[in-house]
Amino acid sequence: MDDRPSRIPASLPALRAAAREAGFVMSCEERTGSLLALLAAARPGGRILELGTGAGEGTAWLLSGMDAAARLVTVELDGIVQKTAREHLGSDPRVTFVAADGGEWLLGYDGEPFDLVFADTWPGKFTHLDRALELVAPGGMYLIDDLLPQPGWPDGHGLSVERLLADLEGREDFRCVRMGWASGLLMAVRSSHVRDRSTPG
């Protein structure tokens, strides 16, 4: 079975070309993108958070699945890289671009929780994990990618990935599934019936 997406966002070819021109090689893999569009479509009127805009390919996939009432906040440390996404997608009123350190943004955010959190950078995944998970609404989804060995991984990063997976799968407040597909994914859903892990007793 060919699992490549049969439909892509209209903005994707231009975003890919701009990313190549800028030398940005860490864009969202297209099968992961198709899953993002599906998950966004499953949340009518949903609140979505993307950590790591990059050049905007993941953002484009999310927007392609969102309905008119859904809203997306996407956070990126590198404002120059994010500029590509802003130029191609910034006219869409459903998306808010934030140029900031993801960890600092997570710690400072005091708004409503999100129905979908896609952590495609270190903050919210390898750092500030607990804070990112706190921002997932009951019944909401948390998705991370790039869990299979990638070119350019620093020495010892494989162990960091295994610790992350063990941490997530050891939580009682989330139900997780690993997917050895695309770049390697884990999706977790926040349970609505399990008390907070910090509750004594």
**3-state SS of the chain?**
CCCCCCCCCCCHHHHHHHHHHHCCCCCCCHHHHHHHHHHHHCCCCCEEEEECCCCCHHHHHHHHHCCCCCEEEEEECCHHHHHHHHHHHCCCCCEEEEECCHHHHHHHCCCCCEEEEEECCCECCCECHHHHHHCEEEEEEEEECCCCCCCCCCCCHHHHHHHHHHHHHCCCCEEEEEECCCCCEEEEEECCCCCCCCCCC
For residue 25, the model assigns a pLDDT of 74
For residue 156, the model assigns a pLDDT of 87
Which residues lie closer than 8 Å to 78 by C-beta, 6 or more apart? Answer: none
Kindly report the length of the chain. 201
| Ranges of the chain whose pLDDT falls below 50 | 196-201
For residue 195, the model assigns a pLDDT of 53
pTM: 0.92
For residue 31, the model assigns a pLDDT of 95
Spatial strand order in the sheet of 174-179: 95-99, 71-76, 47-51, 114-119, 136-144, 185-190, 174-179
pLDDT tens readout for residues 9-37: 999 999 999 888 878 877 888 999 999 99
For residue 194, the model assigns a pLDDT of 54
From 37, 119, 38, select the one nearest 73 (Cα to Cα).
119
For residue 44, the model assigns a pLDDT of 98
